[in-house]
Amino acid sequence: MRIPFEEVKATLKEILMGRNTPEPYAEEVAHVLAQNSLDGVYTHGINRFVALINSIELGSVLPTETACRVSGLGGYEIWDGRSGLGIVNARICTQRAIELAKTHGIACVSIRNSNHWLRGGTYGIMAAQAGMLGIIFTNARANMCAWGTMEHCLGNNPLVMAVPRKNGEHVIMDTSFSQYSYGKLQLAKLEGRTMPDPAGYDDEGNLSSDPTEVLRCKRLISMGKWKGSSIAMLLDLITSVSSFGYSSAAMAAMEGTDERACSQTFIIINPFALGEQEQADAIVDEALEMVLGATPVPGETVRYPGQAMLGIRKENTQLGIPVHEKVWNKILSLK
């Protein structure tokens, strides 16, 4: 089924406000979640809304709280999320880092005690729309096996990188370091699909492509073997140390299973403090032309990260956002 953007947004906003979420925060969160699905990131849009409401009802997410500045030196600041809505906190920190980068050329804002930010690419798009380079990442509750283990002792710790383009067709990468994100596994489970490649281990220690089995065991494997595992570990350490917040290990020791008390880092670079837009555009265009002009593997399409988003957004704006009927009925039951 397909549902118009504004109907989706209004429905989510109404449900959030029914859980004591102030109207401005409910508007912001509903807009971002609907936008995520509009852009084709279904795993971190509407499909995650029920989990967010569950976290609010459990008291893990406090919808009336927002991030506050703890300390700072020059372009580096530490903030505390006070267990508020992850989307609201992440947007506050992104915007603060953008403002600091206008003054200092480069900025780093790290936040502790926040919550799941849903689609990390949202904040990369914010940076690119402001004409800034972005390097943004979060840690997560331990949900992935470190290389050489069969225990979930690392978070899959998503990383976002963004490069602006004057024409608005920004280069945006948003990836976690598990072979498949939890969102993609949950979507495959909902649709009754197996993954094309092994996603993790089953109870017997065998590699499995069955999303139901892997989700149950919480034994996701890292992408790129030891390389992905190492990057995930360092992202966790950098964000938790720079915010003096909780690491993936510390979150794993907390009661419950929902994603909370995350640490996140927003590094923003203002290239035009020292250079010209035209020169930057020429650099990016040359690199992209080389990739897009390469001979594709038979059956594959060559594109740069984020290129498909604008086309998907246009289609879903015209036809409505694709929503699984079971997911939408569950959301409507929350009213």
Catalytic residues, by residue number, are 44
In this structure, what token pair is assigned to residue 245?
């917040």
Q: For residue 74, give every residue at least 6 positions away whose Cβ sits within 8 Å of its Cβ, in sequence order, or none.
A: 104
In this structure, what token pair is assigned to residue 320?
């409505």
Distance (Å, whole) CA 318 – CA 289: 30
Q: For residue 189, give every residue at least 6 positions away whose Cβ sits within 8 Å of its Cβ, in sequence order, or none.
A: 211, 212, 215
The DSSP string of 30-83 is HHHHHHHHHTT-GGGTGGGHHHHHHHHHHTSS-TT---EEEEEETTEEEEE-TT
Distance (Å, whole) CA 228 – CA 178: 7
Helix (H) or strand (E) holding 196: none
Specify burial of residue 301 (Cβ count, 10 A radius: 0-12, 13-18, 19+): exposed
Question: Are the C-beta atoms of 46 and 327 separated by less than 8 Å?
Answer: yes
Tell me how crowded residue 228 is: count the other CB atoms within 10 A of its CB.
22
Distance (Å, whole) CA 169 – CA 164: 8
Please name the amino acid found at residue 334: L
Q: What is the DSSP letter of 215?
A: H
Q: What is the DSSP letter of 222?
A: B
Tell me how crowded residue 21 is: count the other CB atoms within 10 A of its CB.
24
Secondary structure (3-state) at 199: coil
